[in-house]
């Protein structure tokens, strides 16, 4: 039976790198979250480090770059609601 993946959420300040790459296998990347209890590919624990997309484009494999772009795309698709909320609360 397939089990749904659980994640720890990772808080990042605006402008900080928010793509977390598994440094054990260099083949998994998640945005502002890390899988628990371990990496789904290599089962490494606590092996994630934050990078910006631009950094991953410099050194990542094609597979990792594709995953990083997909993670960013998911954010871009969900951003309008978040952006509207932030704009509504700017004057408070």
What percent of the chain is predicted at pLDDT more than 70? 77
Residue 52 CA, chain-centre distance (Å), reads 10
Share of the chain above pLDDT 90, in %: 59
Residue 58 belongs to what domain range? 6-89
Asked whether 90 and 83 are in contact (CB, 8 A), the reply is: no
Predicted TM-score of the model (pTM): 0.75
Longest CA pairwise span in the chain (Å): 49
41: in domain: yes
Phi, psi of 6 (to 5 degrees): -100, 155
Tell me, yes or no, whether 1 lies in a domain. no
Report how far apart the first and last C-alpha atoms of the chain are (Å, whole number): 48
Number of domains in the chain: 1
Tens of pLDDT, residues 42-61? 998 888 999 999 999 999 99
Higher pLDDT pick, 42 / 90: 42
In a domain, 36, yes or no: yes
Question: Mean pLDDT, the chain, as a whole number?
Answer: 83
List strands edge to edge, sheet with 48-51.
29-31, 19-22, 48-51
Burial readout 18-45 (b: 16 or more C-beta within 10 A, e: otherwise): bbbbbebebbbbbbbbbbeeebeeeeee
């Amino acid at each position: 039976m397939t089990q749904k993946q659980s994640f720890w959420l990772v808080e990042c300040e605006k402008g900080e790198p928010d793509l977390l790459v598994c440094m054990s296998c260099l083949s998994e990347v998640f945005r502002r979250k890390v899988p628990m209890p371990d990496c789904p590919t290599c089962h490494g624990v606590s092996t994630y480090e934050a990078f910006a997309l631009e950094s991953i484009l410099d050194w990542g494999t094609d597979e990792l770059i594709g995953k990083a772009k997909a993670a960013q795309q998911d954010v871009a698709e969900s951003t309008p609601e978040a952006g509207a909320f932030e704009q509504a609360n700017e004057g408070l």
